[in-house]
Structure 1
């Protein structure tokens, strides 16, 4: 399907990207961390609370979203995107709010440490440790003690998948569901021919294939192996006994095919998977394009998936 007319008009208005421009995390954060929608226009929830979670690596800031006043809640941990070097609680606030309302979950967004100041495994450690903290403080958080899910977009989808793998390995708490929005699941860019979408959507759709190695180099700067499954979950050979999954992809996204391949690999391992590709749209559409009728339903779809089997 062709690019949605509104998106086509938007991208045609942008200046052509400079492939030789040096990527400076601090400069990119100014642009990438800016919310799209004013606070007063965002979905309203019953309560929002900012807290710090103590861990062995230091305090991790979190934001707790409560949909309505109840005695107990299922809990969803949300990990923001931003190529591991940008994004924060503010940049993804407008995404977390509708997920909170549509799902009925108490949602905890995690402001994990960013690369290059903190390369792998810092982000994964922070997110895993917050999940563990939730499981150990269920009374304080009014958790129902049964339903604990993870979700994330782009690099946050990578972290959600990796936390699921790590939780299965360590057996310190159970996870029930994982939601992966246009996830980045393969950080090895030695051969881009592995996924046709890397060529089909190489240029002109916002996120560009040629920029991916530089974006992810900050997370890998500590010398980590990009084929390690906790860095690139697509390389995990055993996907059995993982949480049921919802995988959402975008047609005009270089990362489309790795997300869809991961969904198929989960299915072959016996995991119940729901998969949805949104046509005519690009990577990162949750924040930028869900005002369009064709994509607004992504939050209801997510909520329905999370509410199943409660």
Structure 2
């Protein structure tokens, strides 16, 4: 069902202005006051990136929630998750409900990485924190005894950017290589001005909560200098060579300024020889994945994710 005129008017009113960092962080942190949190089965664990502690939170699936990791045995499938928030807001704790639901809905262990945020820690620090967590997990230096072939990298929005960039960086460094990635309305470009080549930036960039102006503000806070914006690890769409990338599921939202760049990245991956599924959620807004499981868009997303993962395991 399309967004009606009344809802559009409300969305337009809520879409005004750019990013005011501290109020945005305070609003995001309200999600940590989740009354359901006592029922989440989690384990906190830290890895290190060049001496810095990077917190991670582990979510157990289904009936295995709350049991020691050892009881899961070797080889249980894992989703390595990077949260959204424009690289400047949100945290693993704020995403508790999302990750707990993800573990339950997919029957995967979920490992959520609490990477450092910009602008205090600009590019490439958040990416390097994510890379360090992935390296520890893939190389068996993590609390979980995970089978590297059963680890899927996943992220939403800025987390989708980090997931895609991590896979490019992993190919470059050769220390490990994910076999699957799931990118949920990922931010992959470096330009949300009137010069953007993507129609969705112009069509959806003013009235649907996430705006082109806000994306420009996020990039300004993430980039350490102008040269950073030219790096494919900052904006994966800039990568000239997309060969050797993992099997990919890309989920986009119809009323999202990031819609077209996500779908374009999928097409470019296909052209480079990667197996890719590109799925657009009709009538959805950016950020819908964080809504409750009763929302149809969320249910549709998990059908797509589970179908992708099932197909992967059947082909393995």
TM-score by length of 1: 0.89
1:102 is aligned to 2:96: no
Q: Which residue of 2 aligns with 1:116?
A: 119
Paired with 1:8 and 1:201, the residues of 2 have a C-alpha distance of: 17
Structure 1 residue 52 and structure 2 residue 30: aligned?
no
- Say whether the 8 Å CA contact 1:252–1:282 is kept in structure 2: yes
Q: Which residue of 1 aligns with 2:229?
A: 226
Compared CA separation, residues 8 and 225, structure 1 to 2 (3 A)? farther
1:24-82 per-residue CA deviation (whole Å, 9 max, x = no partner) reads 3222111123329934289x66x310111122140001001121353121222100000
Retained in 1: the 8 A contact 2:37–2:96? no
1:292 and 2:286 are equivalent in the alignment: no
Alignment of 1:1-310 (within 5 A): 2-3=2-3, 5=4, 9=7, 12=10, 15=13, 17-19=15-17, 23-35=19-31, 38-40=34-36, 47-67=41-61, 68=64, 70-72=72-74, 73-137=76-140, 140-288=143-291, 290-310=293-313
Secondary structure, counterpart of 2:43 in structure 1: strand
- Taking a change above 3 Å as real, the CA distance of residues 291 and 10 of structure 1, as seen in their structure-2 partners, is farther
Aligned-pair Cα RMSD in Å: 2.5
Q: Matches of 2:77 and 2:224 in 1, distance apart?
A: 36
Deviations 1:63-116 (A, max 9, x none): 011213531212221000000000101222222122212322221100000000
Shift of 1:216: 1.7
Q: 1:33 to 1:14 in 2, by over 3 A?
A: farther
Aligned residues: 304
Distance across 1 between alignment mates of 2:119 and 2:229: 15
Q: Distance in 1 between matches of 2:101 and 2:249?
A: 17
| Matched-pair contact (CA < 8 Å) for 2:123–2:228 | no
Q: Report the CA distance shift for 1:204/1:191 in structure 2 as closer, same or farther (over 3 A).
A: closer
How much does 1:304 deviate? Answer: 2.7
Partner Cα distance (1:139, 1:80) in 2: 20
In the alignment, the residues of structure 1 paired with residue 228 and residue 6 of structure 2 have an alpha-carbon distance, to the nearest angstrom, of 37
Conservation of the 8 A alpha-carbon contact between 2:43 and 2:57: yes
